[in-house]
Amino acid sequence: MSVRGEDYDILVDARGLVCPQPLRLLRGALRHAQPGATICLVADDPHALIDVTAHCQRVGHGLIGEETQGTALRLLIRKRSD
């Protein structure tokens, strides 16, 4: 999976926040996003990848990219089409 050069519709910056805050911010963005929208979550909590992966699998969103830049993790999530 890759993030570099990918387009996204919404940026969620959760750097400096710890579990479960990055996932809460992502869930809020997903609630307001259109079906098929792509959200880029930036977080530095090492548990963010685990939490986001589990959430996407549970509710049907797609984790379509991941990239680490220093201590920051960038995840691309595509909202499921309803």
| CATH for 26 | 3.30.110.40
Q: Is the pLDDT of residue 52 over 60?
A: yes
**Residue 33, domain member (yes or no):** yes
pTM as predicted = 0.91
Q: Is residue 62 part of a domain?
A: yes
Say if 5 falls within a structural domain.
Answer: no
Count of the separate structural domains present in the chain? 1
Residue 66 domain-assigned?
yes
Average pLDDT over residues 19-44: 97
The catalytically annotated residue of 19, 25, 33, 49 is 19
| Residue 4 placed within a domain | no
Residue 3 lies in a domain: no
Please indicate whether residue 19 is annotated as part of the active site.
Answer: yes
Mean pLDDT for all residues in the chain: 93
Number of Cβ within a 10 Å radius of residue 64: 16
In 3-state terms the chain splits into helix, strand, coil percentages (rounded to 5) of 30, 30, 40
